[in-house]
Structure 1
Amino acid sequence: MASLKWVLMFGNLVAASAFAEEPPIVGIDGHTVTLQAKKWTSPVVESATAWFTANGKTFPLFHAGIGTQAYPEWLSPDKKTLLATPVEYGVVIGENGEEIATSQGHCAVISMETGCVLAESYERFCEGNWEGHQWVSEEGGVLNPALETKPPKELLKHVLNLETAQSRAESLEWSMSFLSPESYMACHPPAQNVQAYNDLGFYLAEGGRDELALKFYRGVEAVGKRTVLMLNMADSLWRLDRKEEAQRYYREYGEAMTAAGKAQKIPQRVVERSEFQGMKK
């Protein structure tokens, strides 16, 4: 009997270049969702990745290993909402250690105004049609598009009592499910969640998820530079062996602390790594 040990596609499968692109689905104000066909090496899968474009910016809606399908008829009459079926591909490990390809589908509700994945349901919920502003599934379920994706403050509440850094990071990563960081931040803008995103990034980095942490740090940085954020970004960049970029943030952090009369509180690692001569313990 196969065990239920999941290995998510985005952690274990090697993606090849996009080899095709379907015509974009055009929503309100010309915002688009584009499906780019992708091929993974193992298990053999051909599927599309979903990209949202608005105001000259493009970002993925889901994690890199999520295959997605959507159709123009799944776009609401007012062009504000699109349904899509993201699928997590993975493997279960058989009793003899063999990898057995498997998948798990969802029905996602996407805001064509922001690129936020508002909510998700079971895959068959996407079988239905729009009746005015409501989506009615073939099974009789009714969707009134509304934000159900939990805010970062709520995610943080569930990890504060976890004992290890790794368990906190794993819990946060799992709580955000299959969404890309960019789509998650489209749901909960950094400008309204500065401290929460800084804390979320810190817990992710503390548990070894520096690449993911940097996504959220960058979101906060776009709102405005903050002293603690610069140190957190520098530490993650340093661990990722992006030393030159890390040194720049260490120097900026040191300069900000010195200007604020807090030079004595600068950690020794900052002095050592930044090579900023004006900083003294």
Structure 2
Amino acid sequence: MTMRIKNLVTITSITALFASHAMAGDDVLQINRQSRIEFSDPLQGWDRDTYGAGWKRARLIKPSGEIVELLPSERLTSIGGTIFSGAFYSSVSPSRKYVFLSTINTGVVGDGPAQAGKNIHSRAYCPVISTESGCILSSNTGEVCGGHWEGKKDLWRYGVDDRTDTMFKWTSFKAEDIWGSFVKSENFAKSVDWHFEPKINDEVVRSFGLNNILACDPPSAKNRGAYLLVARQLEVEGRGIEAKFLRRKSNVGAKQNNGVDRVKADKSWLYDGPEDQARTRMYLIKGDEIEVISPGSSGWVYVEYKGKNKMAIRKWIKGESIE
């Protein structure tokens, strides 16, 4: 169960980087004495020159110490993703129940590599997060994002206008509703002889990923049936990693092994992001135990590994490397 690291410099940096508290250079939004949002992995080099200042990663630290990764499946890569603007552009509601974040969603239009000022499309959003669960409740864009909290009742103002209803225009991220929406789309496609085949994964993406669905709709005896249906359909669509992850997290149909997966390849590289260009100098070996934090796109998986010193390391790995 040993992680192979190529040199001592990397070992030293890992110890500092993955400490339980925010390291120097991270950006922190304090919610209260027990909880906070940490922004880390700042944009550098070409990314910073192209998009400006920002952060690739954000996570909610709960009073219990539990870590909720925010939008892990939208990690910024060379073809796009989400950029977090940081603590200065975020704000906590008067009740401390919600956090307003500022993000930029960016992507490459057409084929070929990203070229600043040519084929990159970006748009600003302002997701609202529940500080209790880490659930992304809504994500608006446009002028409403230029508002602010006011009063003691979590009112959202844009100028003199009360835009609370707009900012808190809830979308249901419950497993039952996601399954129902998929079935409705499937029935409609059949009724009009539509050759487009609806995908449950499209519903998952619109819900900001499986992690967000689980945060918004915690698994229980009441919703386990719906989670099982979603997991089965993901498997039908060839998304076995996501299906296995959902079954385990929702405690549906998976063998109980404390949520542990094992590396099956003799040597599996770890990556800072879900793409080959982000490969680090670290790798795992066959038999190393990991926990899947979030399935990504195109077969990538965000995992946590704990070495002999129990220090948690979170990196990306190729799904084909996992049993």
What TM-score, normalized by structure 2, do the two folds share? 0.55
SS of 1:189's partner is coil
- 1:8 maps to which residue? none
| Root-mean-square deviation (Å) | 3.8
CA distance in 1, matches of 2:43, 2:241: 23
Larger Rg, first or second structure (1 or 2): 1
| 1:230-255 Cα distance to aligned partner (Å, 9 max, x none) | 49xxxxx89x978989xxxxxxxxxx
* 2:116 is aligned with 1:108: no
Aligned residues: 215
CA distance in 2, matches of 1:98, 1:139: 44
- 2:249 maps to which residue? 219
* 2:205 is aligned with 1:184: no
Asked whether the 8 Å contact 1:166–1:208 carries over to 2, the reply is no
Q: Return the offset for 1:84.
A: 0.8
CA distance in 2, matches of 1:216, 1:23: 31
Asked whether the 8 Å contact 1:75–1:82 carries over to 2, the reply is yes
| 1:158-201 Cα distance to aligned partner (Å, 9 max, x none) | 3232679974244233332xx24323211111124211122212
- 2:59 maps to which residue? 51
Asked whether the 8 Å contact 1:165–1:207 carries over to 2, the reply is no
Q: How does 1:1-281 map to 2 (within 5 A)?
A: 21-28=25-32, 30-39=34-43, 44-45=50-51, 47-48=54-55, 49-54=57-62, 55-62=64-71, 63-65=74-76, 66-71=82-87, 74-93=91-110, 99=114, 100-132=119-151, 133-138=154-159, 140-143=161-164, 145=168, 147-160=170-183, 161=186, 167-176=198-207, 179-191=208-220, 192-221=222-251, 226=252, 228-230=253-255
| 1:61-84 Cα distance to aligned partner (Å, 9 max, x none) | 113232122436621122111101
Q: Return the offset for 1:208.
A: 2.1
**Distance change in 2, residues 1:41/1:215 (3 Å):** farther
CA distance in 1, matches of 2:101, 2:86: 5
Residue identity opposite 2:108 in structure 1: V
Q: Return the offset for 1:203.
A: 1.4
Residue identity opposite 1:143 in structure 2: T
**Distance change in 2, residues 1:93/1:170 (3 Å):** same
CA distance in 2, matches of 1:123, 1:22: 28
CA distance in 2, matches of 1:20, 1:124: 34
CA distance in 2, matches of 1:181, 1:27: 25
Residue identity opposite 1:137 in structure 2: Y
Asked whether the 8 Å contact 1:107–1:124 carries over to 2, the reply is no
| 1:118-144 Cα distance to aligned partner (Å, 9 max, x none) | 112114322122111211123835225
**Distance change in 2, residues 1:166/1:86 (3 Å):** farther
Q: Return the offset for 1:106.
A: 1.5
CA distance in 1, matches of 2:232, 2:131: 30
Residue identity opposite 2:41 in structure 1: A
Instruction: Report % sequence identity.
Output: 18
- 2:318 maps to which residue? none
Structure 1 unaligned segments of length 5 or more: list them. 1-16, 232-236, 246-281
- 1:268 maps to which residue? none
Q: Return the offset for 1:39.
A: 4.0
Q: Return the offset for 1:51.
A: 0.7
**Distance change in 2, residues 1:193/1:170 (3 Å):** same
Asked whether the 8 Å contact 1:84–1:126 carries over to 2, the reply is no
SS of 1:119's partner is strand
CA distance in 1, matches of 2:229, 2:155: 37
**Distance change in 2, residues 1:142/1:153 (3 Å):** same
CA distance in 2, matches of 1:135, 1:50: 23
What TM-score, normalized by structure 1, do the two folds share? 0.62
